[in-house]
Amino acid sequence: MKRILVFCARDWLNPQAGRVEQYVHEVCVRLAAQCNYVAWVAQSFPLFGHGVRRPRTELVDGIQIARLGMRPLYRLMAGMFLARIEKTNNGPTRFDAIIDCVTGYPLPITEKTQIPVVPLVFNLSPKIQASEEPPGPVIAATDEARRQLLRAGFPESFIVQAVDGMDGMDAMDEAHQHHLGSDARQQLWDKTTEIILATIEDVVHSVH
């Protein structure tokens, strides 16, 4: 069992959640179903007529959600949250790995924690440039993310292509999707999760 801390600015219950949050939710549900402990750290969100206010913390689909401040404060509060985790990250409750869901810029957390960080990249700002020796593997959630990582100078050997359950289906025409049905989509997500978990296990093993 692995204890995995996921930083993704929105959770899938946020009214503004989209494709990124769907991807992360599909993966996290499967990780949790495999007896891994998954904690998702997200921003809080206002009501604005969108229904019931969600609590600061809740357990949904086997995933522990922790909601911090509003979006402008999320990056700052994520760092503060991680600082608290660092002080208590030992014994049976310690986290084995962090997944940083990147949509533009990664969180500035790599140098603030001894927990291995695995970036899961959906979109990378063109201003980001790779160091000559990245600290570890980077997961590309889509083909476009992989191209962005290569343009940023990440060595191809450091990039892990995670099969995207949505991209894989979207690439098929409507008739082909109907023929394959939901089972094929679920198999794509299972494969995505398998790749991500294997990457986490490799990273955790390399630091011990």
Q: Show me where the domains of the chain are located.
A: 3-206
Q: What is 3-206's CATH number?
A: 3.40.50.2000
How far apart (Å, rounded) are the C-alpha atoms in residues 130 and 123? Answer: 14
Whole-Å CA distances, 16 to 8, 13, 22, 111, 147:
13, 8, 11, 30, 27
Residue pair 190/24 in contact (Cβ under 8 Å)? The answer is: no
- The predicted structure's pLDDT at residue 171: 47
89-148 pLDDT per residue, tens: 665 568 999 999 999 999 988 888 889 999 999 999 999 998 766 778 999 999 999 999
- Higher per-residue pLDDT: 101 or 70: 101
160-196 pLDDT per residue, tens: 999 755 554 454 445 555 555 678 788 889 999 999 9
- The predicted structure's pLDDT at residue 69: 78
Show the tokens assigned to 138: 């980077």
Q: What is the residue-averaged pLDDT of the chain?
A: 86
Write down the pTM of the prediction. 0.88
Residue pair 37/2 in contact (Cβ under 8 Å)? The answer is: yes
22-51 pLDDT per residue, tens: 999 999 999 999 999 999 999 988 766 556
